[in-house]
Amino acid sequence: MAPDRPPSVDRLARSLADTGLPHPLLVDAARLAIADGDPATAEARARDLAGSMGRHFLTDVVNATGVLLHTNLGRAPWGTAVDDTRYSTLEFDLSTGDRGSRQDRAPALLARACGAEAAIVVNNCASAVLLVLAALAEGRGAVVSRGELVEIGGGFRIPDVMTQSGAHLIEVGTTNRTRIGDFASAVAASGDDAALILNVHRSNYRIEGFTESVGVSELVGLGVPVVADIGSGLLDAACQWLADGPPPWLVGEPAARQTLEAGADLVTFSGDKLLGGPQAGIIAGRADLVAACAAHPLARALRPGSLVLHALQNLALAYLGRDGDAIPFWRMATLTVDHLRERATAIAPDLMVDTMAVPGGGTLPGVEIPSVGLRLDGDRTVGLRAGTPPVVARVAEQATLLDLRTVHPDDDAVLGSALDRLGAR
């Protein structure tokens, strides 16, 4: 074949079969490579393209960023422990052989764990808020403090969610100060219009200085249901699943159980942020209100599948069994600095530095968790990402930091070989 004649797409695609990609994708790579320049180098370009296609797929990574809930890395790591050779009892009652409800297991266990009468699980906390507003306040008003009209990462804005739900916003107070009287007069002035009060946790920002806000316990008694969207925080402030109780950096975060005890009629929270589990949103509280949410047509559109419900069931059992060690997020969050130092010493003592890990997930702004890492001069993140499995690190002050708090101990060996590959130890 003359060197300037384009190779055949099919022949080129077949020559890349060793990459393991399906043939149609190799044909795409071959086509692009041939269309894109010198025929003599088409094969190398096609191999490059196939390589980057392969690396584009979802894959496991070692999270060495020190960000416990890294939204770009799927927030929390969670085991599925689901046997994919078998079916599941998703909507089947084993004792009667009749149809069951998918909302019977994980949601009931989570309700038990936070002291709620009932709960349902939806796709994420954004859907939980949407469903609550649609089911309880469609065509009516929802009262929210101006200091809580939040935007969560990814474009979740309370006023926009309100519009989508068919409820309208009744704003009260000011950005920095809202008093109980503001709520009381708004509810009274609305006549029958106010369907509920929505209290929103300021998970990702703080208001400091001349401030005043109203807690859930004050809001009850105004004659309308109080819904607390806590998003992140704790299932129970006592953290019975941790031998030493809540770590200091979490004290003061809202907790589902205590928010319900304070009188909230419903709480909504995130399965990945608050529980350290799979992406999910939980609506828990008064049985009649949960039932109204479950009966709304949107509930069908927002329901999770068996994979998520199964993982949440295992997670809820671990919480109820007070077994924090079974929950990767809590295992990592509570590792001692001494333990991390031992691991760093075993990997590369000369590179060991003190670091600060963070909770992440758009929660607890400004909160840092003492940690230990390995420090490399310069930005070495590209090389670290190129390994198998890829290692994701962070760069600070012209150095690359590998924080051990978010790395599973089994992956210390992966860090070791990555450092060898980069000639760094």
Ligand X SMILES: *Cc1c(COP(=O)(O)O)cnc(C)c1O
371 binds ligand X, rule: CB under 6 A: no
Task: Give the CB-side neighbour count of residue 261, counting CA atoms within 13 A.
Answer: 11
328-367 residues near ligand X, rule: CB under 6 A: 362
Tell the burial category of 300 from Cβ atoms under 10 Å away from its Cβ (0-12, 13-18, 19+). Answer: exposed
345: CB partners within 8 A, 6+ apart: 352
CB 210 within 8 A of CB 179: no
Stretches 77-85, 228-236, 305-313, 378-386: which one binds ligand X (CB under 6 A)? Answer: 228-236
Distance in angstroms (rounded) separating the CA atoms of residues 272 and 362: 12
The closest of 90, 91, 64, 60 to 78, measured between CA atoms, is 60
Q: Among residues 66 and 360, whose Cβ is nearest to ligand X?
A: 360
Number of neighbouring beta carbons within 10 Å of residue 24 = 8
The least CB distance from residue 195 to ligand X, in Å, is: 19
* 66, 147, 225, 231: which one binds ligand X (CB under 6 A): 231
The least CB distance from residue 414 to ligand X, in Å, is: 29
253 binds ligand X, rule: CB under 6 A: no
Tracing tokens 């980069």 back to the chain, one arrives at 422
Stretches 60-68, 227-235, 327-335, 404-412: which one binds ligand X (CB under 6 A)? Answer: 227-235
105 binds ligand X, rule: CB under 6 A: no
The least CB distance from residue 179 to ligand X, in Å, is: 21
Distance in angstroms (rounded) separating the CA atoms of residues 334 and 323: 13
Q: Among residues 156 and 183, whose Cβ is nearest to ligand X?
A: 156
Query: What is the number of the residue whose Cβ is closest to ligand X?
Result: 231
3-class SS at 239? Answer: coil
147 binds ligand X, rule: CB under 6 A: no
* 124, 145, 259, 371: which one binds ligand X (CB under 6 A): 124
* 152, 275, 293, 311: which one binds ligand X (CB under 6 A): 152
Number of residues assigned to the chain: 425
CB 384 within 8 A of CB 415: no
The closest of 295, 241, 247, 278 to 114, measured between CA atoms, is 241
Stretches 61-69, 118-126, 368-376, 396-404: which one binds ligand X (CB under 6 A)? Answer: 118-126
> How far is CA 2 from its chain centroid?
55
201 binds ligand X, rule: CB under 6 A: yes
Distance in angstroms (rounded) separating the CA atoms of residues 219 and 178: 12
Q: Among residues 107 and 281, whose Cβ is nearest to ligand X?
A: 281
Q: Are strands 266-270 and 391-392 parallel, antiparallel or unpaired?
A: unpaired
Dihedral sign from CA coordinates of 93, 96, 97, 98: negative
The least CB distance from residue 292 to ligand X, in Å, is: 20
Site size for ligand X, by CB under 6 A? 16
258 binds ligand X, rule: CB under 6 A: no
78 binds ligand X, rule: CB under 6 A: no
200 binds ligand X, rule: CB under 6 A: yes
Q: Among residues 182 and 229, whose Cβ is nearest to ligand X?
A: 229
Stretches 48-56, 92-100, 200-208, 290-298: which one binds ligand X (CB under 6 A)? Answer: 200-208
DSSP string over 371-393:
EEEEEEES--HHHHHTSSS-EE-
110 binds ligand X, rule: CB under 6 A: no
CB 219 within 8 A of CB 226: yes
232 binds ligand X, rule: CB under 6 A: yes
Q: Among residues 65 and 124, whose Cβ is nearest to ligand X?
A: 124
Which stretches of the chain bind ligand X, using CB under 6 A?
124-126, 129, 152, 156, 200-201, 203, 229, 231-232, 270, 273, 281, 362
